[in-house]
Chain A
Amino acid sequence: MYSRAYKSLVAIPPLVWVGAFLLLPYALMFVHSLWAVRESAIVHRWNLDNYKTLFTNPLYAEVLFRTMRIAASVTICSILLGYPLAYYLAFHAGRRKELLYQLVIVPLWVSYLVRGYAWKTILGSDGVLNGFLQYLHLTREPVGFFLYSPFAVVLMLTHIYTPFVFLPIYAALEHIPRPLIEASQDLGAGSLQTFWRVIFPLSMPGLLAGVTFAFVLSLGDFLAPLLVGGPSGTMIANVVQSLFGAAFDWPLGAAISVGILVITISLLFLSEFLEKRWVFK
């Protein structure tokens, strides 16, 4: 129905643009990772030293593991908050469902920075939480460890990604045909059994999408550690950022970026693979 000219007319401009402004930059990132720095200038000497450094210097492995730990904590916390919320909305909210759904969506649109900043004012040593605790006479002096800790990073990112995790889970729960649940109950399964054997397996694709989202997005975050993390909350993307900034070692920074990219894309493929298995089962 559509002519050849039509098809090329719609396909070529985005292909060219995306090729020039996405593919080429990503490729440049990869190319940089194979170069080196000599006397604070990037030299085009092809080598794998940057990758060798990544694998041999324990510092990078340490930061990467901390990053993964933080990302995993964020993912788990977001599910613990998001899943029951989605379940409640899907099955028990009744007429208020639509309104509550929109209430979960709203924060998604509210600036990342605004939300991060809010946590900073709450957790700081002269912040709202400390003021509150002293007001109740629960503590006499400001508690310092709320802010500038991995805990603060996990808290802030959980706050940001809970709605992200909620959305696909809610969509999956809404998709479950209600007769299936009724059948399970009619055939004598208790509500717990119905949940574990009918509802939970069927919500798996949504859960998986949520998990992937929260984990991958937390993994590459560098702003939360800068805002609320402090030195002990430094994540892998902060290392990249400092290598591109003050430390001026673009090739090494690029190598770490390529590493993050590879991890991200592998996780996406893994999640896609698992989803297919679950859906067709």
Chain B
Amino acid sequence: MTAKPATGRAPLLAIYATLVFAFIYLPIVVLILYSFNRDGVGGFPPRHFTWNWYSQLFADSSIWDSVLSSLIVAAASVVLALTLGLLAALALDRATFPGKILFRRLVLLPLILPGIITGLSLLMFAVFAGVHLSLLTVFLGHGTALISVATTELFAGLQKMDRAQEEASLDLGATPWQTFWRVTLPNLQLSLIAAGLLIFTLSMDEIAVTFFLIGRDNTLPLEIWGRLRRGITPEINAVSTLIFAVSVGLIVIWYHLRARSLSGTSQEPLEQPGEFP
């Protein structure tokens, strides 16, 4: 038998894959590099190393105000999306009710629907309900749209859970309430943390839905967006670099948790992570 072509070496393919990686990472590398460039965001080669843009960034109070707004919105969205996502996942896993399939589709819709549609629908809703746009409306938008992410992640967790433990708990006299707190939730702990991190990151980065729901206080992405129109400085590179660093940190944590919560099963992603559309 000859060599197995499907699993052997493939130098051309390896070069191609390297080029694709270069394409994926090039913009990020450029971004980071130019955040240390004294002479601005363009030109080549970058010369004159400086920390200047970072010190400017740290002194920029409107950026930090927007970071605070983003953190508040993201934290609140995590709580809302996890709570409702957990209930929705339990309902999809265990209950039968009329319209269940429709409900599942509706919950997941914000994952795939363009953000502009979800954003504008919620804007109309806010106007209809007479609510002024503020961080509260942004939170409602993020929290509601991200129930989709929580539901898929936690549903996957529930599907892998051993039902026998819950049965045993109920048989041994624990109330359903006790069983939920002492058996179901602890079993889902890793899925909950992983989903929470994902939701947090997505909310911190969200822009398409936020765009239409923002009031007076900007979130960080909207603050950056506003600055892009007024002309760009490497200060934006600096803040982007920090966002990148924090995102990478969160993924590393997320990935480890995910690997642990999925250990024993395949590593295949159950639902693609990524920005909710």
Docked CA distance A111–B9 (Å):
35
- How would you classify the secondary structure of chain A's contact residues: helix, strand, loop or mixed? helix
Quick one: given A22-B109, A111-B240, A131-B42, are A105 and B251 in contact (CB under 8 Å)? Answer: yes
> How many angstroms from the CA of A216 to the CA of B108 in the assembled complex?
14
Say whether chain B's binding surface is mostly helix, strand, loop, or mixed: helix
A89 to B18, CA, bound (A): 11
Contact with A along B110-134 (1 / 0, CB 8 A): 1011111110111111001000000
Interface magnitude class on chain A: 35 or more
- Contact mask for chain B residues 260-277; partner A; CB cutoff 8 A; 1 contact, 0 none: 000000101100111101
Q: Which residue of B lies closest to A14 (CB)?
A: B88
Tell me whether B31 and A103 are in contact (CB under 8 A): no
Q: Which among B50-58, B187-195, B220-228 touches the partner chain?
A: B220-228
Please tell me if the beta carbons of B116 and A110 are within 8 angstroms of each other in the complex: no
Are A21 and B125 interface neighbours, CB within 8 A? yes
Show the binding face of A for B, using Cβ within 8 Å: 1-3, 5-8, 10-11, 13-15, 17-18, 21-26, 28-29, 32, 81-82, 84-85, 87-89, 91-93, 100, 102-115, 117-122, 124, 126-128, 130-132, 134-135, 159, 162-164, 167-168, 171, 174-175, 178, 181-182, 185-186, 190-191, 194-195, 199, 213, 216-217, 219-223, 227, 237, 240-241, 244, 250, 253-254, 257, 260-261, 264, 268
Asked if B181 lies at the interface with its beta carbon under 8 angstroms from chain A, I say no
**Within 8 Å of chain A (Cβ to Cβ): is B7?**
yes
Cα(A3)–Cα(B94), bound, Å: 10
Residues A10 and B42 in contact, CB atoms below 8 Å apart: no
Q: Closest B residue to A26 by CB, please name it.
A: B121
Can you identify 21 A-B contacts, CB atoms within 8 angstroms?
Answer: A2-B94, A5-B176, A17-B144, A26-B121, A28-B124, A84-B13, A92-B9, A100-B21, A107-B24, A111-B205, A112-B275, A113-B224, A119-B27, A126-B42, A127-B41, A171-B268, A216-B114, A220-B117, A222-B114, A237-B114, A250-B124
